Amino acid sequence: MSGSGAAATGGVEELLGRVTPGRYDAYEALLHALAAGRLWMLLWQGRPGASDAQYGNMEVDGHGYAPCATSERELAASGWDRAHEVVTGADIARALYAERWGLWLNPHAPGGGLGVPWPDLRRIATGLDRMPAGPLRLSEPAIQLPQFYALLAQNAHRTPAVRSLRRAWVQPAVGTPYLVIGLDLYDAARPSVDAVRALMGQSVAAVPDGLPVSTVAMSDGYDPVALWMRANARPFYDREAHVTAPVPQPGGYGYPPRAH
């Protein structure tokens, strides 16, 4: 992994000390600070900005992370004797999540520091308020919405761009649970996207008041909800072969196991 960076400021260290198991509100605050702050990335080889620069790497529970320090003081405390690169949290998030690498803050610190998995780096890179807070609990929706699903399937059948539809119930670590419809399209051209937007607009009238509904493109290779649905939820509408969805087990795709 190579990198480049610029500088910004933030209260990463102050918030890092508040994060404890189960304190997802504190963890969310830390992610916001990372998005606005800067980090001291440890370079395993090369110099900052060089084409051969490589960040350090470590593996925890089968997941890859790039280690960093959160300040010059922590960098000195780490004893790192190779080069380092100062980058913004937003820049490093964009670089790492695309390769499905997480970020490990201050691995030299007592207790081993803190890891931020790549799905949360993706949230930082694309906008924390635009994506649900993980780890996510994902399952087949238990709420019965036969009229909505029937209308969706009917409208999808009339929309040639739609190959299939899936569904999932998403419970974020922070925020309100909601229903997600997974859209599998034959192509992502503007006319197809516009047609599917119209399809959803025509169908949401059958959703009970107060029930949040979102959509995700099944072609998104980084979205944890789309990845979970592709692995666990069969389509409730399939243009090529009508099938009904099984009931998969709840999970937290893309996140390391919680500590016990």
| Residue 202 dihedral angles phi and psi, to the nearest 5° | -75, -20
Q: What is the pLDDT at residue 247?
A: 44
**How many residues make up the chain in this entry?**
260
Residue keyed to tokens 């607009």: 201
Position 7 scores a pLDDT of 33
Q: What is the domain extent for residue 209?
A: 137-238
Q: Is 73 contained in some domain?
A: yes
Residue 248 located in a structural domain: no
Among candidate residues 221, 229, 146, the one with its CA nearest the CA of residue 182: 229
Q: What is the pLDDT of residue 1?
A: 47
User: What is residue 5's predicted lDDT score, i.e. its pLDDT?
Assistant: 35
Calpha distance 149→46 (Å, rounded): 55
The last residue of one of the domains, among 130, 157, 181, is: 130
In-domain check, residue 198: yes
CATH number at residue 150: 3.30.70
Rounded Cα–Cα distance for residues 151 and 254 (Å): 32
Mean pLDDT for each 10-residue chunk of the chain (260 residues)? 38 87 88 93 89 90 94 94 94 94 95 92 91 87 93 94 96 90 94 94 92 94 92 94 49 47
Residues 43 and 114 in one domain: yes
One domain for residues 21 and 66: yes
98 in a structural domain: yes
pLDDT for the residue 175: 84
Rg (C-alpha) for the chain, rounded Å, is 21
CB burial class (10 A; 0-12, 13-18, 19+) of residue 65? buried
**Tokens read off for 66:** 């790039």
**Residue 78 belongs to domain with CATH number:** 3.40.1350.90
Amino acid letter for position 185 = L
Q: Is residue 260 part of a domain?
A: no
**pLDDT for position 150:** 94
β-strand partners of 38: 88
Amino acid sitting at position 39:
L
CA distances, 108 to each of 40, 75, 87 (Å)? 13, 9, 19
pLDDT value of position 103: 97
